[in-house]
């Protein structure tokens, strides 16, 4: 019985030496706060997707030229936006968004870096 306890003690010590002394790996936080893709749609016609006509991501301005739709306005738009998985959009786009006037939002990277954007929609 004493031999088994002694063997267990040796194995436990070996495991601690092999795995207990390793440094914890620290991965740098992402600095990516760019927009990967963006498109718009009228809430009344969500399957008709519009791409930006001008996209100055350095300046942070994204423009859309969208034809008018009967009985619809830019106050009820769907924003389809993709950012890196570690990024956050503020304010978040939930449901319909009023884009009848220029709309400002920010994308925050995992490390807290912020990039401001201006969304402009016109006919």
Kindly list the domain boundaries of the chain, sorted by start residue.
37-122
Q: pTM higher than 0.85 for the full model? A: no
pLDDT tens string 78-93: 999 999 999 999 999 9
**Tokens matching residue 70:** 């009967």
How far is residue 1 from each of residues 7, 10, 12, 105, 110, measured CA to CA in Å? 10, 15, 17, 69, 54
pLDDT tens string 22-79: 677 788 899 999 999 999 999 999 999 999 999 887 889 999 999 999 989 999 999 9
CA-wise closest residue to 35 among 112, 99, 88: 88
72 SS3 class: coil
Neighbouring CB atoms inside 10 A of 72's CB total 14
**Domain 37-122 = CATH 2.60.40.4120:** yes
The Cα 77–Cα 121 span in angstroms is 10
DSSP at 13: H
């Amino acid at each position: 019985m004493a031999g088994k306890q002694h063997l267990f003690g040796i194995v436990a010590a070996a495991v601690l030496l092999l795995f207990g002394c390793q440094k914890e790996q620290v991965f740098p936080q992402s600095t990516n706060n760019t927009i990967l893709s963006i498109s718009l749609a009228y809430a009344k016609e969500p399957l008709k997707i519009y791409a930006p006509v001008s996209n100055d991501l350095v300046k942070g301005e994204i423009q859309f030229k969208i034809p008018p739709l009967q009985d619809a306005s830019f106050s009820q738009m769907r924003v389809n936006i993709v950012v890196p998985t570690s990024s956050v959009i503020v304010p978040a786009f939930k449901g319909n968004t009023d884009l009848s006037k220029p709309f400002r939002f920010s994308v925050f990277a995992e490390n807290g870096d912020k990039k401001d954007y201006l969304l402009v929609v016109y006919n």
